A and B are shown apart, each in its own frame.
Chain A
Amino acid sequence: MTISVNTSVKVGITVNGEETTADVEPRLLLVHYLRDVLGLKATNVGCDTTSCGACTVLVDGESVKSCTVLAVQADGQSVTTMEGLSPNSTELHPMAAAFRAEHGLQCGFCTPGMVMAAVSLLEENPTPTEREVREGLEGNLCRCTGYHNIVRAVLSASGQNPDAVQTTSVDADADQSPAGGVESAPGFSTGSGA
Chain B
Amino acid sequence: MIPVAFSYARPDSVDGALALLAEHGEDATILAGGHSLLPVMKLRLGAPEVVIDIGRLPELRYIRVQGDEVAIGAGTRHRDLEASDVLGSDVPLLAAVARTVGDPQVRHRGTIGGSLAHADPASDLPAAVLALDATIVLRSPRGERQVPATGFYTGMFSSVKEPDELIVEIRVPRTGSAGWAYEKFTRRANDWAIVGVAVVDGRVGLVNMGASPLRASATEAALADGASIDEAAALADQGTDPQTDVSATAEYRRHLARLLTRRALTTAAG
With beta carbons under 8 angstroms apart, the residue of B10, B178, B193 that contacts A1 is B10
Establish whether residues B7 and A64, one from each chain, have CB atoms under 8 Å apart when the complex forms.
Answer: no
CA distance A194 to B99 in the complex (A): 16
Mark each residue of chain A from 67 to 97: 1 if its CB lies under 8 Å from any CB of chain B, else 0: 0111011010000000000000000000000
Cβ-defined contact, A191 with B24, below 8 A: no
Cβ–Cβ contact B16 & A186, under 8 A = no
For A75, A124, A138, which residue has the most chain B Cβ atoms within 10 angstroms? A138
Binds A, one of B103-111, B145-153, B163-171, B211-219: B103-111
The CA of A7 and the CA of B106, in the complex, are separated in Å by 27
- Other-chain residue from A7, A49, A136, A191 in contact with B179 (beta carbon distance below 8 A): A191
Are the C-beta atoms of B7 and A7 separated by less than 8 Å?
yes
Q: B-side interface residues toward A, CB under 8 Å?
A: 1-12, 16, 19-20, 24, 31, 34-35, 38-39, 41-42, 50-51, 53, 55-56, 79, 83, 92, 96, 99-100, 102-106, 108-109, 177-191, 193, 199, 263-264, 266-270
Q: How large is the interface on A (under 10, 10 to 19, 20 to 34, 35 or more residues)?
A: 35 or more
Q: A48 at interface (Cβ–Cβ under 8 A)?
A: yes
Residue ID in chain B nearest A134 by CB atoms: B189
**Also in contact, A192 and B187, with CB within 8 A (given A6-B8, A72-B8):** no
| Given A63-B104, A68-B35, A138-B190, 20 additional A-B pairs, CB 8 A | A1-B12, A3-B16, A27-B5, A50-B35, A63-B105, A64-B108, A64-B109, A68-B38, A73-B31, A124-B104, A138-B189, A185-B187, A187-B193, A188-B100, A189-B183, A191-B264, A192-B180, A192-B181, A193-B181, A193-B266
Is the C-beta of A179 less than 8 angstroms from some C-beta in chain B?
Answer: no
Give bound CA distance, A187 to B97, whole Å. Answer: 12
Query: Which of B3, B10, B39 lies in contact with A27, CB distance below 8 A?
Result: B3
Say yes or no: A62 contacts B103, CB within 8 Å: no
CB < 8 Å A-B pair total: 161
Contact (Cβ within 8 A) A26 B108: no
Q: Does A152 contact B (CB under 8 A)?
A: no
Complex CA gap A4/B193 in Å reads: 40
Known A-B contacts A64-B109, A73-B55; the reply to A27 vs B6 at CB < 8 A is yes
Shortest A179–chain B CB gap in Å is 14
- Collect the chain B residues with CB atoms within 8 Å of residue A65's CB: 105-106
Q: Is the CB of B179 within 8 A of A26?
A: no
Which among A26, A63, A186, A190 has the greatest number of chain B C-beta atoms within 10 A? A190
* Cα–Cα distance between A53 and B108 once the two chains are bound (Å): 13
The answer to whether A26 touches B267 (Cβ under 8 A) is: no
Q: Is the CB of A188 within 8 A of B266?
A: no
Q: Which residue of A lies closest to B97 (CB)?
A: A190
On whether A26 and B6 interact (CB within 8 A), knowing A56-B105, A139-B102, A186-B187, the answer reads yes
On whether the beta carbons of B270 and A186 are closer than 8 Å, the reply is no
Interface: A154 (CB within 8 A): no
Q: Which of A5, A68, A138 has the most CB of B within 10 A?
A: A5
Is A142's CB within 8 Å of the partner chain B?
A: no
Contact with B along A152-194 (1 / 0, CB 8 A): 0000000000000000000000000000000001111111111
Using A70-B38, A139-B190, A189-B183 as known contacts, say yes or no to A120 and B104 having CB atoms under 8 A apart: yes
Q: What is the bound-complex CA distance between A64 and B108, given in angstroms?
A: 7
